[in-house]
């Protein structure tokens, strides 16, 4: 894409170029798909470059399961230490899980018409809440407290009309991990007020044992959404998992049946194969990014860039020496230096679409091929050159 065409796209009002007709579409996703191809892609939050010889053997392609493949549910239940009846599987990925669950919760009890969404956050979660809940509140996670979830503040802003609190753990974009005590405190508020907590735990799959699930804190009101896109590079599989109480899982399967129909069994067969026989290879592939993380953190320290330490996944919330990284990335970093991190403004929307001036960016390492020596150093060198124009 030429620089002229890229500038014309950016000059249009956000989202109009996509043709999307949702009431509250994501401007981040709109930007993401329109970024010109760059030499140094620092946008991806999930690992890539995963070749795998997938042999499923003889498969009866006529078979479908209205409540998911029992073997897949069993494998996932073992991973999350719950019963198979607490596992909801769909071929929509984590984003589809979030959208479906948020909508279902809004429809279940129209009197609970307000949602609370953490701030900062992954913008599609914010927009999905806006799409289905008329009243939206924000729960700020502050830098000076390590982006912890403030249960006292949650108690102040929640009410008997609150239907859901939407969190991420590890938190997007900071990478901060909420421990058992922190989750128990916010869950006490949820149980007292009678609202669900939907926690997107997709980044927890990098170190699943190191991050407590919200469902382990309370199995009635805690709902986990996740997939294996980020940690294992299975974005093309489009499998999503939710962990919830048995009654809600049944409602979710009924909702799938009445909307898109049963999720394809072949996706679930592939998931079972990958999470059993393929697990050693998946973990080995994931470990390749450990060296990239160390190299990037060393570079941050060398150039004096402030970043929030992310011990779990492969993204970093970085403070650059510019007051407006949205304009800097679109006007300089992408067209002049062919390097693309994500503007921090996309995580800092309040309720509208105003682009705030921010010095933050999210740097993601997933698109860097770890088997090609020197790619990460080239990307960091290009980012350094771009930073000189900030």
Rounded to whole angstroms, how far apart are CA atoms 335 and 36? 8
Quote the pLDDT of residue 204. 98
How wide is the angle at C-alpha 177 spanned by C-alphas 50 and 124, nearest 5°?
Answer: 65
Q: Which of 312, 290, 302, 310 is nearest to 368 (CA)?
A: 290
Question: Could you give the residue range(s) of every CATH 3.90.1150.10 domain in the chain?
Answer: 3-49+281-387
Rounded to whole angstroms, how far apart are CA atoms 168 and 201? 6
CB 101 within 8 A of CB 225: yes
Per-residue pLDDT tens listing for the chain (390 residues): 555 555 555 655 555 544 546 799 999 999 999 999 999 999 999 999 999 999 999 999 899 899 999 999 999 999 999 999 999 999 998 999 999 999 999 999 999 999 999 999 999 999 999 999 999 999 999 999 999 999 999 999 999 999 999 999 999 999 999 999 999 999 999 999 999 999 999 999 999 999 999 999 999 999 999 999 999 999 889 999 999 999 999 999 999 999 988 888 999 999 999 999 999 999 999 999 999 999 999 999 999 999 999 999 999 999 999 899 999 999 999 999 999 999 999 999 999 999 999 999 999 999 999 999 899 999 999 999 999 887
Q: Which two tokens stand for residue 303?
A: 């150039």
CB 54 within 8 A of CB 270: yes
CB 268 within 8 A of CB 228: no
Spell 90-111 as b/e; 16+ CB within 10 A means b.
bbbbbbbbbbbbbbebbeeeee
CATH entry, 70-275, from 3.40.640.10, 3.40.220.10, 3.40.50.2300, 3.40.50.300: 3.40.640.10
Q: Is 155 helix (H, G, I), strand (E, B) or coil?
A: helix
- DSSP assigned state of 180: H
Rounded to whole angstroms, how far apart are CA atoms 257 and 252? 9
Percent of the chain past pLDDT 70, that is, above it, reads 95
User: Which fold would CATH assign to domain 3-49+281-387?
Assistant: 3.90.1150
Query: Whole-number mean pLDDT of the chain?
Result: 93
How wide is the angle at C-alpha 383 spanned by C-alphas 5 and 332, nearest 5°?
Answer: 30
Quote the pLDDT of residue 373. 82
Q: Is the pTM of this model over 0.85?
A: yes
Rounded to whole angstroms, how far apart are CA atoms 249 and 243? 8
In sequence order, which ranges of 81-138 are alpha helices (DSSP H)? Answer: 93-108, 123-132
Question: Could you give the residue range(s) of every CATH 3.40.640.10 domain in the chain?
Answer: 70-275
Quote the pLDDT of residue 345. 98
pLDDT in tens, 199-229: 999 999 999 999 999 999 999 999 999 999 9
């Amino acid at each position: 894409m030429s620089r002229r065409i890229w500038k014309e796209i950016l000059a249009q009002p956000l989202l109009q170029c996509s043709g999307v007709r949702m009431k509250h579409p994501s401007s981040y996703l709109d930007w993401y798909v329109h970024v010109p191809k760059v030499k140094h892609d620092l946008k991806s939050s999930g690992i890539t470059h995963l070749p795998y010889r997938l042999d499923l053997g003889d498969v009866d392609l006529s078979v479908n399961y209205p409540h998911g493949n029992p073997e897949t549910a069993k494998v996932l239940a073992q991973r999350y230490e719950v019963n198979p009846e607490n596992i909801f599987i769909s071929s929509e990925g984590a984003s589809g899980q979030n959208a479906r669950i948020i909508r279902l919760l809004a429809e279940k009890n129209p009197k609970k018409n307000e949602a609370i969404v953490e701030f900062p956050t992954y913008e599609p979660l914010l927009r999905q809440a806006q799409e289905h809940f008329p009243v939206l509140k924000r729960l700020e996670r502050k830098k000076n407290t390590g982006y912890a979830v403030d249960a006292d503040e949650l108690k102040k802003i929640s009410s008997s009309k609150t239907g859901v609190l939407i969190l991420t753990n590890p938190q997007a974009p900071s990478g901060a991990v909420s421990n058992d005590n922190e989750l128990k405190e916010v869950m006490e508020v949820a149980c007292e007020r009678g609202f669900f907590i939907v926690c997107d735990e997709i980044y927890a799959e990098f170190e699943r044992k190191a991050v407590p699930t919200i469902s382990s804190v309370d199995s009635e009101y805690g709902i986990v959404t996740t997939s294996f896109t980020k940690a294992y590079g299975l974005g093309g599989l489009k499998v999503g998992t939710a962990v919830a109480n048995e009654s809600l899982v049944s409602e979710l399967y009924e909702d799938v049946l009445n909307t898109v129909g049963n999720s394809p069994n072949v996706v679930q067969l592939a998931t079972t194969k990958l999470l059993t026989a393929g697990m050693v290879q998946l973990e080995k592939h994931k470990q390749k990014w450990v060296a990239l993380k160390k190299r990037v953190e060393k570079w941050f320290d060398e150039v004096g860039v402030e970043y929030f330490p992310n011990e779990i996944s492969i993204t970093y919330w970085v403070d650059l020496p510019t007051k407006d990284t949205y304009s800097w990335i679109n006007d300089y970093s992408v067209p002049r230096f062919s390097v693309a991190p994500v503007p921090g403004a996309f995580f800092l929307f309040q309720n509208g679409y105003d682009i705030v001036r921010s010095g933050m960016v999210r740097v993601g390492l997933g698109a860097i091929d770890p088997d090609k020596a020197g790619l990460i150093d080239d990307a960091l060198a290009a980012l350094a050159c771009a930073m000189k124009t900030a």
